[in-house]
Each structure stands twice: as structure tokens, then as C-alpha cells.
Amino acid sequence: MKKTIQTVNIHEAKTQLSRLVDRAVKGEPFIIAKAGKPLVKVTALDAPTPTRVRRLGLMAGQIAVPEDFDMMGSSEIEQVFESEV
């Protein structure tokens, strides 16, 4: 038995887009029509769900930044810019 796909006019799709998208995600695709003519079919994507969650501060306490970090290499940089060509 073939399931019929709901057709909505473009105005209805604009006003109820969030609800329609939620239904499509749950496996109920729909068609958007303009003046009775079908234009597009909206279906859920088969995108994989992320398996790894990114965490801020993952390396906290494992990396040390020297106090003079902003001065590192300053003497070499000065030599490059102060040398005469």
C-alpha cells in the first residue's frame, strides 16, 4: 500500500514551515505547490549523526604557555627589520 504524500501550497508552507519540517524529519515528506503545481519535495536528509561531541577545554592543564610568550623571537624579528639591505 503506497502512502500518499501531503501537498501544501506555498503560503501554508511559509506559515507552518517549522511544523512541516519537524514532520519531514520524522519520515513524513511533503510537497510544496504553487497555484496547484508541485514545485519541490521536502524530505529528511540521511546525514549521519555526529558521534563525537566537541568539548571546550579538552586539553586544560596539559599545555603550558610561557609567561614571555608574546616576546618569543622578538630579538630575531628586530634583527630582520633593523638590518640594512
CATH number where 23 lies? 3.40.1620.10
Residue 84 is assigned to a structural domain of this protein: no
Can you give the pTM of this predicted structure? 0.53
Residue keyed to cell 519535495: 41
Per the structure, the complete domain to which residue 14 belongs is given by: 6-42
Which three cell numbers mark 82?
Answer: 633593523
> How many residues can be counted in the chain?
85
Count of domains for the chain: 1
pLDDT tens readout for residues 10-41: 999 999 999 999 999 999 999 999 999 999 99
Within a domain: 71: no
Are 67 and 42 spatial neighbours (Cβ–Cβ below 8 Å)? no
Q: What confidence tens digit (pLDDT) does each residue in 3-16 have?
A: 789 999 999 999 99
Q: Domain for residue 74, yes or no?
A: no
Instruction: Give percent of the chain above pLDDT 90.
Output: 47
